[in-house]
Structure 1
């Protein structure tokens, strides 16, 4: 006799499931009988090994077994738990009344062979398949299909596609054994927009105020571009909380949302109806502090900033107790910035009399906390001492939250680590001992850059080799084992740049040590440079000939010291620098200067004050400011000279237009002008004042506004000497000035051709550079990615600026305007790269009528 213990009977009694009916006779679970297992056969397998399934059941021939009984039910439960089978049945027959033979008949679930996803962008398919675990070889189950469908519907509902429909179909795939292909059709439909937001029950606060309180739930308006109208359930729920907060800010503590209803207008539009109950308006009563010994009631009240009789504002109370901003001026930070890490502050409503609420702010100060161990992790290249000297936290020091925040900023400003991933970890807090450890987790970012490029310009090939190491180690320069690939880790900077073509050569070397002597933050700078420009001429065929016997060169050296100071605050740095430049002319006549033979010397002293409080790293600052004012001065040589500079200047102004009209002809007037200006400018005397300020403001989340203003003025001590022909301001274009022969400042102003806003000299009719310039800009920045391998952000800008021949002509409101968009990419190995598309609304300085129009600017290695 052969009987079936199918799922129909076993699951009726054991698992409450139903399946096929019994094929022999019904057997009651209560009538279980003991047998000896004579054998087990597994049938129906397609891809699994029979012996593997037998082993998994745990049944062995000769063991006693009760049928029906717990052994069979547990085996079925285990097999179902694998989610590999669609049907599981046991059949048995008995011989000699005590020996039973079992047949396990199973049907395998089909295996997924391939997936076709329709209605989704190609770039999104791989991500969806990974999130839903739809991969080849996966068993097709009801839960897999249901989870995939729910995931896709919820994914697009969160993006505002409330009517998303997902259909999933499977079909047998004859290319494999028991395999099926799957087709997933996604119909997102159109985004559902909010046509109207209807408020009911509001009398004290207007519809407009309540609608404004909903930060992400906005009704459809034609002019709204930045925040589109769409319904997202999670955002809507959060906005309802903000709606109640708006009431709490205005004294209505008991306000609540009575109901909210979604009304379907059509397939693409809905209305939201929100009913509120405002309640009564309340005011602050007595506010008593309990448990405070470190600070007096008056000190705490000053920080709290809430007085008796003020309109009740629950949001303000919450923020003044503990704001989400790490550097907020609140009571929690007041304690934590002064050593009380384990303090807790809780406002309690102790009574409500009519419309007045009395509070008791209960403070548990805890034990004063001190730092025990300070550790750093993740600095594979940078030496520990470079990091520790920047930290504001020291072992044994009293705990101060503001010092941790400042340490994060200082580490980010180094440029050696990814500022977005600097994480301080407060470890091992011990309230009884009053100690805590801090571990700074760092991620190294590239600190070396290489510039290797070639191009064609100026009639010939231009080759550039640049090496820049911002985390260099000079002391390991002669240690072969330290080259990985160069000595690194001591925080020094070293840059070498070579650029050459047939007509010019540029050499420069810069070295900087930020902690001279290793004890104090005194930065030492050394800079050497040599620039040569050779004479050129065009042949009849248009070819450029280079004459190296004619040329102009600048040789310069500069030594500088910069020291951090503590007043007015410790963001300030005072800089001093001494420099010498030698300008040499050898039969070099281009019309740029009045003399083509001779030399000029400049001995300069530069004094500068900077204040840098940027937050969020150098690449993408999110807050703070950075301003710099410098004064570059030469000695007033004319005060100690017997030369008649007035006569020299008058003669130069008389000869200049004559010589300019004669061109490059070797005339007596030209030779006289060379002698006159060579004597006037043998030793340059001037003063140069520059100011630059940047302010960064986070508007919403990652959207940052950079505000910038710049000003520069080049003056002279003695009007009889006149203004020097070097060190002038050239405005317009991309702002790149890698090849400048006269110490000029090249000022970026996008939307115009390079240096095209430089004024024309009235005597010569040529652009000799401005003596005054100013510039203003607003720039909206949004990061696309801020990963260590590559940081990318987009921007939109408004700019205005201009250059002027003298201070008398200077008008800060007479500016050339532009607007546009751009993209910046920072890669550690190559520095900052970018492109800008700017539109100039005004004419440039050439006199050509009409706006400058669209200009494209490529940015390479520009300052952040």
Structure 2
């Protein structure tokens, strides 16, 4: 660096001074931001000549002044510059350059200049002239939704008071352009303008306007491959999971170009070749072509290479398993087409924690520290000989097993579900099962359960196991109102799913309720002008705390008042009351496997009719008793999250039986049936007198009271659900249901209670007579059964689910469905293929405090019985507190 300065105290004319100042001005214009200008007193004689920078003269600083537009004090600026009065400096030299750099590196100033204002003998006086960087006063963002603006401000640090530099503006613009490009907006435009704020405040401030024009997401018109002879363009395009060309029939994958997804799909193309034996395939080049219609086309040039096959596959280092045993797991033979992807999956499939691969075979028998490496030892003549090199290591044992993150749930509730114990041999299957069991409890966010391996010690063969959980709300409140059943219906429900009954009398345990023992307590009240329902239930999942035997109990009471057509109000003097109580036990089995549960229950219901005459019952005064025994066998091995399972199945078979009273109560039901038929004919005979018909009706009521004093029936139900993850996050759920209500004695007949009512949302606001409401969307509630219900039903459904979010605060997923079903009165009419069909879309929202909420829009493809021309109509169903 050269500086045109040489100062001598000599007499000279003004012309020389002007020439020197001209030289200094020329230098200042060529050193951006770092400017040293020397102003001289006219009484000095100055002679200028070119000197090297290192030839500067030493001066003592006589004083430093600060000028310009800055909110900082003079003392602060001078102190930060490192210059001080009395300091010896060289002009020109490093001292002033260093001071300027210090001030510049503070990133507080937009312009910095240092002047020599006066020189007396060997004493120099300086002036530092600078301006503050402007602060951001107001920011206006145009072109995006309000919900997105806060994130943009946070990501780019554009809060009020931020210093606005050219670098800030440039990095903000580049960040947003790259961000939108990754989302598929290749033509996004970002403009940033700053406007000086003119006010009485001395601080330099600017308002910033950020204009965002994302444009449209660029669609892919075509994807063309060059150089492919073995695999067609169609097959290669199919291997690209996220990059698709325009196809109006495609629903779940759009033809938007996203660069990150495209790069991943190029790797998928190579994987496709490897799956077909072309291990040397590679992408030579790819190009993006912008079309006139604002779409793009992708051209991908590939080199396929030659076809390879597997040769000899040798296992090395295995002592626990024989070559034959490992070969049966690998399932790849000499001469098979080379498939590198399949080879890796058979050795260690990272996509499935319980896959049938060699790594899991070792890890399920304690060999946590084993490593398995496939090595190609020869590729002569396109035949690849493989060595599967195995280092088995020592079997691993659990040294300690701990749980973290459970703030509410007591430790013993968690530890009794854990399948791994200290001192126990490590088995991967037990770890996977533990994660599943903890998720099924419903007390933790199933997506956040994490098994952590701590302090692995291959030499000692030990491992510490830590399960990390995140508590989620396990209590729910139900508070709703609606119109139905002829009036307003209000519902208040409380469900405590992690209750602790032993702490019910401990004052300190109410936070707000006693919690932590995994018990369930539910209270519910539903009322309208015409009925009232009260219910209470309690269950303990581990009766006695030692074995997984669930005890459950429930108590309910319902009172229904008859509708008075004259007043359009409830007639409180005419009522139908049901009181019921149930006790049940459910035991987890170990055979055939421990996913099975055997449940048993005894229930009693009493039906009391007080001057309650309707079409449902032939007697208006009287009672019926329902004492029944229910036995069920179920198996549930669905994956971790009970709200959104992605794999496994769930099925149940139940039988509900009453005591066969007709075998021993001495009543001749054949005679009663004949007598009833006789009186029925009299009642229906138009030639009968009014008195005869009334007497016949009274006799029928008397006979039915005898027939139904103690209900006699058997009821069989089956339900099965299967879950399959088609692609990532997209889950297919087929279901099948069947139910049958029968009688031991045909003369006694099928009871008018416990029947099936098919159609609608399946909620059944108030079931007075033990009825089951079967969901079949697209049809009005209970519209596919007779008025008195059916004795047989079947239903088939196919549901496709896709999660929107699975966070603990709210789990949301969308669904599409196809389903069909029907209700029948006897086996003579039963035809499982004659069903009423529908299809539609829906959404489910699960919030811990309110349970499951949802809405479905269903379209029926068949007429409602008795309503010709009613097909192809839509029904809207609101789902509350149920999962389908």
Normalised TM-score (structure 1)? 0.93
Is residue 2:802 matched to residue 1:782?
yes
Alignment counterpart, residue 173 of structure 2, candidates 146, 149, 171: 149
Shift of 1:793: 2.0
Task: Pick closer, same or farther for the CA change 1:537–1:106 going to 2, 3 Å.
Answer: same
**Equivalent residues of 2:34, 2:100 under 8 A apart:** no
Shift of 1:535: 2.7
Is residue 2:331 matched to residue 1:283?
no
Aligned equivalent of 1:828: 848
Partners in 2 of 1:28 and 1:687 — Cα distance? 111
Shift of 1:461: 4.9
Aligned equivalent of 2:761: 734
Task: Pick closer, same or farther for the CA change 1:44–1:93 going to 2, 3 Å.
Answer: closer
Is residue 2:417 matched to residue 1:405?
no
Alignment counterpart, residue 547 of structure 1, candidates 560, 563, 572: 572
User: Which deviations, in whole Å up to 9, do the C-alpha atoms of 1:718-772 show, x marking residues without a partner?
Assistant: 211111111000011111124111100011111111111113xxxxxxx111001
Alignment counterpart, residue 260 of structure 2, candidates 234, 237, 241: 234
Alignment counterpart, residue 818 of structure 1, candidates 824, 833, 838: 838
Shift of 1:264: 2.4
Partners in 1 of 2:620 and 2:555 — Cα distance? 25
Shift of 1:10: 11
Alignment counterpart, residue 305 of structure 1, candidates 308, 328, 331: 331
After superposition, the CA RMSD in angstroms is 2.7
Alignment counterpart, residue 816 of structure 2, candidates 776, 796, 799: 796
Is residue 2:782 matched to residue 1:755?
yes
Task: Pick closer, same or farther for the CA change 1:102–1:752 going to 2, 3 Å.
Answer: same
Partners in 1 of 2:259 and 2:690 — Cα distance? 77
Partners in 1 of 2:207 and 2:460 — Cα distance? 64
Shift of 1:161: 2.2
Is residue 2:410 matched to residue 1:383?
yes
User: Which deviations, in whole Å up to 9, do the C-alpha atoms of 1:592-612 show, x marking residues without a partner?
Assistant: 112222222222111101111
Alignment counterpart, residue 743 of structure 2, candidates 689, 694, 716: 716
Aligned equivalent of 2:537: 510
Aligned equivalent of 1:181: 207
Can you give the 5+ residue segments of structure 2 that lack an aligned partner in the other structure? 1-6, 9-19, 40-47
Shift of 1:702: 2.1
Is residue 2:278 matched to residue 1:252?
yes
Task: Pick closer, same or farther for the CA change 1:434–1:39 going to 2, 3 Å.
Answer: farther
Alignment counterpart, residue 606 of structure 2, candidates 582, 606, 612: 582
- Residues 573-722 of structure 1: pairs in structure 2 closer than 5 A: 573-656=597-680, 667-722=694-749
Shift of 1:478: 1.1
- Which structure would you say has the larger Rg? 2
Task: Pick closer, same or farther for the CA change 1:849–1:456 going to 2, 3 Å.
Answer: closer
**Equivalent residues of 1:819, 1:838 under 8 A apart:** yes
User: Which deviations, in whole Å up to 9, do the C-alpha atoms of 1:806-843 show, x marking residues without a partner?
Assistant: 12211111111112222222222221122222122222
Shift of 1:538: 2.2
Partners in 2 of 1:332 and 1:404 — Cα distance? 15
Aligned equivalent of 1:449: 476
User: Which deviations, in whole Å up to 9, do the C-alpha atoms of 1:141-188 show, x marking residues without a partner?
Assistant: 222112221122222222322222222222222246422222223333
**Equivalent residues of 1:771, 1:805 under 8 A apart:** yes
Task: Pick closer, same or farther for the CA change 1:6–1:403 going to 2, 3 Å.
Answer: farther
Is residue 2:243 matched to residue 1:223?
no
**Equivalent residues of 2:529, 2:569 under 8 A apart:** no
**Equivalent residues of 1:36, 1:64 under 8 A apart:** yes
Alignment counterpart, residue 355 of structure 2, candidates 304, 313, 328: 328
SS of equivalent residue, structure 1 residue 120: coil
SS of equivalent residue, structure 2 residue 644: coil
Shift of 1:59: 3.4
Task: Pick closer, same or farther for the CA change 1:348–1:328 going to 2, 3 Å.
Answer: same
Q: Structure 1 residues 251-260 or 842-851, which shifts more?
A: 842-851
**Equivalent residues of 1:729, 1:758 under 8 A apart:** yes
Aligned equivalent of 1:137: 161
Partners in 2 of 1:788 and 1:196 — Cα distance? 41
User: Which deviations, in whole Å up to 9, do the C-alpha atoms of 1:647-669 show, x marking residues without a partner?
Assistant: 22233345457658999999212
Aligned equivalent of 2:517: 490
User: Which deviations, in whole Å up to 9, do the C-alpha atoms of 1:435-456 show, x marking residues without a partner?
Assistant: 2222222111111112234455
Shift of 1:414: 0.7
Alignment counterpart, residue 394 of structure 1, candidates 421, 424, 427: 421
Shift of 1:481: 1.3
Aligned equivalent of 1:422: 449
Q: Structure 1 residues 652-661 or 437-446, which shifts more?
A: 652-661
Partners in 1 of 2:259 and 2:621 — Cα distance? 77
Q: Structure 1 residues 86-95 or 360-369, which shifts more?
A: 86-95
Is residue 2:440 matched to residue 1:440?
no
Task: Pick closer, same or farther for the CA change 1:7–1:343 going to 2, 3 Å.
Answer: farther
User: Which deviations, in whole Å up to 9, do the C-alpha atoms of 1:487-513 show, x marking residues without a partner?
Assistant: 111000011112233432212111100
- Residues 71-150 of structure 1: pairs in structure 2 closer than 5 A: 71-92=95-116, 95-150=119-174
- Residues 522-541 of structure 1: pairs in structure 2 closer than 5 A: 522-539=549-566
Q: Structure 1 residues 523-532 or 225-234, which shifts more?
A: 225-234
Partners in 1 of 2:570 and 2:458 — Cα distance? 80
**Equivalent residues of 1:459, 1:544 under 8 A apart:** no
SS of equivalent residue, structure 2 residue 379: strand
Can you give the 5+ residue segments of structure 1 that lack an aligned partner in the other structure? 760-766
Aligned equivalent of 2:42: none
Is residue 2:224 matched to residue 1:198?
yes
SS of equivalent residue, structure 1 residue 44: strand
Q: Structure 1 residues 650-659 or 788-797, which shifts more?
A: 650-659
SS of equivalent residue, structure 1 residue 144: helix
Q: Structure 1 residues 494-503 or 843-852, which shifts more?
A: 843-852
Give the number of aligned pairs. Answer: 851
Task: Pick closer, same or farther for the CA change 1:221–1:462 going to 2, 3 Å.
Answer: closer
Partners in 2 of 1:257 and 1:499 — Cα distance? 66
Aligned equivalent of 1:357: 384
Q: Structure 1 residues 173-182 or 601-610, which shifts more?
A: 173-182
Partners in 1 of 2:682 and 2:355 — Cα distance? 67
Shift of 1:112: 1.9
Shift of 1:415: 0.7
Is residue 2:875 matched to residue 1:863?
no
- Residues 43-54 of structure 1: pairs in structure 2 closer than 5 A: 43-54=67-78
Partners in 2 of 1:338 and 1:163 — Cα distance? 56
Task: Pick closer, same or farther for the CA change 1:46–1:307 going to 2, 3 Å.
Answer: same
Alignment counterpart, residue 557 of structure 1, candidates 558, 564, 581: 581
Q: Structure 1 residues 49-58 or 798-807, which shifts more?
A: 49-58
Shift of 1:545: 4.2
